[in-house]
Structure 1
Amino acid sequence: MAEELNSANPMEQALDNFNQVQIGDVVEAEVLSVDDNQLVVGIDNSGVEGVVPLKELTSNYKADIHDLAQVGDKLELLVLRHSSSDKEDGNFVLSKRRIENRKAYQKMADRQAADEHVTGKVTGTVKSGLLVDVEGLRGFIPASMISDHYVRDLKPFVGQELELKIIEVDPSKNRFVLSHKEIALAEKAQKQAEVFAKLLPGDVVEAKVSRLTNFGAFIDLGGVDGLVHISQISYQHVDKPSDVLKVGQEVKVKVLDLDPERGRISLSIKATQPGPWEDAAQRISAGDEVDGVVKRLTDFGAFVEVLPAVEGLLHVSQISWERVNNPADVLQVGQQLHLKVLNIDPEQKRLGLSLKALTEDPHKNHHSHQNDSTKNDHYTLPKEERGFSLGDMVDPDQLQ
């Protein structure tokens, strides 16, 4: 009878040992063998064996399992479930990776409580943000938390290391959410203070184009962006900033205005370039013949562009030897004209032009006796609200 009881003890003992190992337990185990895709381990003080698949040993599915563990190694493991197939040796499936994840989550939760920042390496992108590795733990940065401004292209961040603030740690949902926005804002505030301290209106500096929008170009002034409005890019009309500028392009800009309270810096590219009227004074003189395009028509004449951003006035009286009541009757916007320069005053931005001066007066003999009486006449022209300075017009008889 005693022998029967003794013979039953090993079976009962094995069953007791098996029942001592519960799913969710953290156990110590020794590596008994290493196969291509799994470890076979013996759980200490239980006589129970289990298996650790490669995917539960590391998150790197390309890793060589023989580099990760050797026979005789002692491992701390989490009991996941009972074995479900013959391919899974032993009674249980265990995980080393999940133990490490659990510890990592707790470590990050402690850092969040202490309001500590962490460093993470961007490993990839998804539609809604960035994937990062923080000390072996996979985290996520939503697109809205990447920077202090909207980021359209996420790919350039891949491979970068970012300082991050921990937003959420929830191991039960496998959620580890981080943000770089707060760090970016703090860095920007510091750089802004440095830039505003050394810049003054009127300063001219060289910098790079950092971003292009429909309304202008943002210029990197050393970690702080200043704006060149589209109207300040060139003296010539610009439809889109991208037509004349590229991201990364070196440009010379003049500081127009600084607003430290709002963190805004207004810049100009065209203010660093010679004005069109400065160039016009070297290229055009009174008496020259020039080609131009009609840009605008008014009751008193036509404004004709003869050089980029340089317009002259073709007064109604200088259009034809015949009387013209309305310039629109004989001219149209976009029309090409060949003209004579009557006068030019670059400082006042005045340019007087004549069309009829290049043709012979059909009434020359009939009106020749009137020349002396009209020699000193000149025209008084209305002012335009657009700020164009109108040229003083000379008597047409002086052209003969």
Structure 2
Amino acid sequence: MTEEFNESMINDIKEGDKVTGEVQQIEDKHVVVHVNGGKFNGIIPISQLSTHHIDNADEVVKVGDEIGAYVTKIEIDEENESGSYILSKRQLEEEKSYEFLQEKLDNNETIEAKVTEVVKGGLVVDVGQRGFIPASLISTDFIEDFSDYEGKVLELKVEELDPSNNRVILSRKAVEAEENAKKKEELLKSIKAGDVIEGKVARLTNFGAFIDLGGVDGLVHVSELSHEHVKSPEEVVTIGETVKVKVRSVEQDSERISLSIKETLPSPFESIQEKYNEGDIVDGKVMRLASFGAFIEIDKGLQGLVHISEISHKHIGTPNEVLEPGQDVKVKILGINPEEERISLSIKAAQPEEETNEASEETTQSYTQAAEDENENNPTLGDVFGDKLKDLNL
């Protein structure tokens, strides 16, 4: 009888089989299930009820629920000809979860999952089992504090699956990267040269500032930050600051956008004629030298050119013979062209006329005196041989 009983049990339901049943009873540490088609009831330990940690069985099931599970063990009491199936609802849930996640991974599709816990290395999410988002895969942006993510439902992509090690790695960063790529493509198509838009200063370099326009960065060269001379972008803008910029050019193929902050600001040339006139003599500073002349700043954002012919009364080969950057000079305004934002200046003409004449007189006197000195120091043949020549009968 015992052998027949054991054989009937073995041939009925085996370990590893998937079964269904109705929850009949909930205890502190397990749940009793009537197994459909089985000889015995099933027992699901609380640790095998869910892929997540639970303290009480009634958190996930209630009496009357129809559930599925795997048979992990069969316990038979030969003496009483009774037994029970030890079941795992958790194992079945994990299998379904892996099948679902593998499909999403194969098709490069996204899923939604709720953040259940924030840990030091990233975020724990519920994907039918425990999923993990490492800190490096949370966002395309640097995030220092993850606490704001707790309880949020995130759109994610499956990064890695390893059922043998119960490893499920997910990525929010991959979703954001795709979103940013779409925004970038749309933005590059929508903006054009001449547009004035707002952006946020993303990062600074020694040659300019990169502005985030909402999915794509544009560059404001240091020369386009201000009407005034700027040595370093930090003098004008700060990271995170919202600024208004004008689009100078858009290169679709290379995805380069050239921007200007300067062109959104009032030009000092708009009001130059309220303060300066042709013929005025003003103070200036040498900003830079070129082979053809010197650029002089006479006010903030106002630079003019002193042509090499207007630098000095005497002939010079290059401006750096008499000038150097940073030098203070007086200049005369020869012409102002507000439309082309040009100022023509002269250092030579800024010298008072009497100083020029005095300089000429001093030069003449010095040459005359030099000639006289030379004559005194160099006697003629007559002076040397005069008396001797008288005695000669020529």
| Alignment TM-score, normalising by the size of structure 2 | 0.60
Aligned equivalents of 1:98, 1:74: Cα separation in 2: 16
Query: Which runs of structure 2 are paired with 1:112-123 in the superposition (5 Å)?
Result: 112=105, 115=107, 117-121=109-113, 123=115
Secondary structure of 2:240's aligned partner = coil
Which residue of 95, 105, 114 corresponds with 2:98?
A: 105
Residue 250 of structure 2 aligns to which amino acid in structure 1? L
Q: Percent identity?
A: 30
Query: Which runs of structure 2 are paired with 1:270-309 in the superposition (5 Å)?
Result: 270-286=262-278, 288=280, 290-296=282-288, 303-309=295-301
Q: Partner of 1:96 in structure 2?
A: 89
Residue 39 of structure 1 aligns to which amino acid in structure 2? H
Give the drift of 1:315: 7.4
Residue 207 of structure 1 aligns to which amino acid in structure 2? E
Aligned equivalents of 1:132, 1:26: Cα separation in 2: 27
| Corresponding position: 1:201 with 2:193 | yes
The answer to whether the 8 Å contact 2:44/2:89 transfers is no
Give the drift of 1:287: 5.3
Change (3 A) 1:107 1:219: closer
Aligned equivalents of 2:187, 2:202: Cα separation in 1: 19
Which residue of 245, 248, 251 corresponds with 1:253?
A: 245
The answer to whether the 8 Å contact 2:296/2:303 transfers is yes
RMSD, matched Cα? 5.4
Give the drift of 1:207: 2.6
Query: Which runs of structure 2 are paired with 1:1-400 in the superposition (5 Å)?
Result: 24-28=16-20, 30=23, 32-35=25-28, 38-41=29-32, 44=35, 45=38, 47=40, 50=43, 52-53=45-46, 56-61=48-53, 65-70=57-62, 73=65, 75-78=67-70, 95-112=88-105, 115=107, 117-121=109-113, 123=115, 133-134=126-127, 138=131, 140=133, 151-153=141-143, 158=149, 166=158, 169-176=161-168, 191=183, 194-195=186-187, 198-202=190-194, 204-209=195-200, 211-214=202-205, 215-220=208-213, 223=215, 225-235=217-227, 236-237=229-230, 239-240=232-233, 244-247=237-240, 249=242, 251-286=243-278, 288=280, 290-296=282-288, 303-313=295-305, 333-335=325-327, 337=328, 339-346=330-337, 347=340, 349-352=342-345, 354=347, 357=350, 361=354
Give the drift of 1:15: 11
Change (3 A) 1:12 1:141: same
Give the drift of 1:103: 0.8
Give the drift of 1:101: 1.8
Give the drift of 1:100: 1.2
Aligned equivalents of 2:189, 2:357: Cα separation in 1: 69
The answer to whether the 8 Å contact 1:304/1:314 transfers is yes
Q: Which runs of 5+ in 1 are unaligned?
A: 84-89, 371-400
Aligned equivalents of 1:353, 1:309: Cα separation in 2: 18
Residue 69 of structure 1 aligns to which amino acid in structure 2? V
Residue 333 of structure 2 aligns to which amino acid in structure 1? L
Secondary structure of 1:106's aligned partner = helix
Deviations 1:258-289 (A, max 9, x none): 33344444333323333444454443334556
The answer to whether the 8 Å contact 2:133/2:172 transfers is no
Give the drift of 1:244: 0.6
The answer to whether the 8 Å contact 2:287/2:296 transfers is yes
Give the drift of 1:333: 3.7
Residue 67 of structure 1 aligns to which amino acid in structure 2? E
Give the drift of 1:302: 5.3
| Alignment TM-score, normalising by the size of structure 1 | 0.60
Secondary structure of 2:226's aligned partner = coil
Deviations 1:165-212 (A, max 9, x none): 55654423434455678766765676566545554433x232322733
Aligned equivalents of 1:330, 1:262: Cα separation in 2: 45
Q: Which runs of 5+ in 2 are unaligned?
A: 76-82, 364-394
Deviations 1:218-270 (A, max 9, x none): 3426x555444444333342523695144361x43333223334444433332
Aligned equivalents of 2:27, 2:201: Cα separation in 1: 54
Change (3 A) 1:302 1:163: same
Residue 104 of structure 1 aligns to which amino acid in structure 2? S
Secondary structure of 2:59's aligned partner = helix
The answer to whether the 8 Å contact 1:280/1:307 transfers is no
Change (3 A) 1:126 1:349: farther
The answer to whether the 8 Å contact 1:287/1:340 transfers is no
Say which one has the larger Rg.
2
The answer to whether the 8 Å contact 2:225/2:236 transfers is no
